[in-house]
A and B are shown apart, each in its own frame.
Chain A
Amino acid sequence: MKPFFKLISMLLLLPAAVFFSSHARARDALSKDQPVLVEAVMCEAIEKFKPVNQAVVFSISLGRVFCFTGFDPVPEETTVYHRWYRQDRLISTAKLVLHPPKWASFSSMQLREADKGPWRVEIVDSQEKLMKTLRFSISD
């Protein structure tokens, strides 16, 4: 390739390279600020900050059901939300504060007779970005 064409090509590619590198930096900065979800389970209880009897079907007789989430790393103090839906109806939102460097937190739902049926919990970060959806059922 002739030097002239090399120069032209470099001049043309330079702005694109600058744009993509800055974009990647911004994305890295954003993701670095956000906690990383490493564990998300529905369980019957929490003991010693650990989920007990992870399941997708829970008896109403349990009286309560838990959503356990673990984050590692947590770059900075931030919040996540557990949104509890019975079928497609929003029942409750739990706001959880996460602290660096890593954090585990949970929310729970008191069960009533009328709560039988399919549920889901959406785990959403502070930017309203959906991190994970956990689906489970409340049975007899």
Chain B
Amino acid sequence: MGQFFYQFFGIGWQGFFDIALNSYILFRLYVLFRGTNVLRVLFAMGIFWVLRQVAVSMGLVVTSWAMQGVIAVAALVIIIVFRNEISSVLQTRDLKSFFWGIPQYQRNTPVHIIVEGVYELAKKKIGALIVLPLNQGVESFVQKGITWQGKLSKEMLVSIFWDDNPVHDGAAVIQGDRVTNVGVILPLSKRTDLPSYFGTRHRAAVGLSEHTDSLVIVVSEERGKITLVKDGQIYDINDRRAFEKLLITHAGQDTAAAGIKKHTRELAVAAAVCLVCVTGLWLSFSRGMETLATHTIPVEFIKSDQNMEIFSSSASNVTLLLSGARPLIRSLGPDRITVKLSLANTVPGTNKLSVSRSAVTLPPGIVLKSLDPSMIEVTVDVPVKKELPVQPFWTGQLSQDLIMTRAATTPEKAHVIGPRQVLTQMETLFTEALSLEEITTSGRISARIVLHPVTIRLEDPKKNRVQVEYTTRKRETVLP
């Protein structure tokens, strides 16, 4: 599986998972904070971060320091200024909608219920203030009021604004088919051109519409008139059908299919942007955190002639200095690195093979900095068998009054296997060094057969010792 990711993406499964997880988190943040100023500040922070990276790469010390400060301040600003939006995102939604759901805003709003409820309120001259947010949230501009989360109905609307209801003074917020909050306090408009008969309720409606894309419905308590406010524009409602049409237009239900398509496209683009951003960030981080590692890898010799045998090599391992992203280096095991040397162009005897970079196979994303040794001497030949006599290798000094008249090994000969070139020139095997110092009389000692050069080996490795039987006598004739 990991190899699959390496082959196709050039990153490990950890990197793939890292990017996917963070892309989704970013996408969820976008979905949850869509339309709020939090997202704009986050976007600005992103721009500052890019500028800081550019400044760092250009060596602009003060600029990068300033950008870092701005980013830190912006993070604080988000937490302090947009605490209402953040808390509403964290508190009001259930886990499913938090991790998975896409807020539909006014798309599922039952417009006819609102129309009927508002007309009922107007008919009974019950003052009302109803907020229908669109894409931009209202949490930053209002005092939250009381969470309601009631299924929308004509009767509920009337009862909320009923004079005896404790929450009738504030505004009711409708999202989808639910009244989410009641008793919400809206910001008042400071406009001076408003009609004199506009009371606080109307000013609040205009005030919110100036800051957000919400649609606010006002029912006058004195006159029983319905007023609709959107984007600072005031519409007096005299016609039920016109009112309904305005609501439908706001909720986007007149172009439902196109709206869904647009909505889906927007989310797809957002998801793609999140993925690209996080991937870029990941690559930036991972490349930025490039580390070095040393691996010692055994060399694999590839034989072309099966009769040929490798009798010795100056090195059996190659030490590789590798660089790459820290996660890649950390997850890199020696089993995923190969060093292969071809013996195709070798001749019997000692050959010098260059360990080139092409001989080293590395996973994607890992770069070979250097290797050691860059040259390996390999002795190859056709193996032959030969029977050689074994001769004792005496060292030291024999006592001057002794003469060694005979020394024989048992067995006299041994079978060795080695390169043809070597064995052709070899006529004798020697024992390990045997000291003459201790010898005082005839005797027998056991001795190991020395295999030199190292390219030869005994046919039976267990028979690597011989018995050396020697005979001494007293020296009779002393030479002048």
Contact = CB atoms under 8 A, between A and B. Distances in A.
Contacts of A117: 393
Contact of A57 (B407, B428, B430): B407
B405 A118 contact: no
A118 B434 CA distance: 11
Contacts of B395: 116, 139-140
A87 B436 contact: no
A57 B393 contact: no
A53 B391 contact: no
A57 B436 contact: yes
B394 A88 contact: no
Given A53-B403, A57-B404, A87-B430, A135 B391 contact: yes
B398 A52 contact: no
B427 A56 contact: no
Given A54-B405, A88-B428, A135-B391, A59 B397 contact: yes
Nearest to B403: A55
Interface in A47-106: 52-57, 59, 62, 85, 87-88
Interface in A17-61: 44-45, 52-57, 59
Contacts of B400: 59
A56 B396 contact: no
A137 interface: yes
A101 to B, nearest CB: 30
The size class of the interface chain B forms with chain A is 20 to 34
B462 interface: no
A52 B389 CA distance: 27
A116 B395 CA distance: 8
A139 B479 contact: no
A120 B428 contact: yes
A60 B299 CA distance: 47
A137 B394 CA distance: 6
Interface in B214-252: none
Nearest to A41: B405
Contact of A137 (B393, B403, B477): B393
Contacts of A87: 428, 430
A117 B404 CA distance: 15
B479 A118 contact: no
Interface of A: 44-45, 52-57, 59, 62, 85, 87-88, 116-118, 120, 133, 135, 137, 139-140
21 contacts: A44-B479, A45-B479, A52-B477, A52-B479, A53-B403, A53-B475, A55-B404, A55-B405, A56-B404, A56-B406, A56-B407, A57-B403, A59-B397, A88-B428, A116-B395, A133-B389, A135-B428, A137-B407, A139-B397, A139-B398, A140-B395
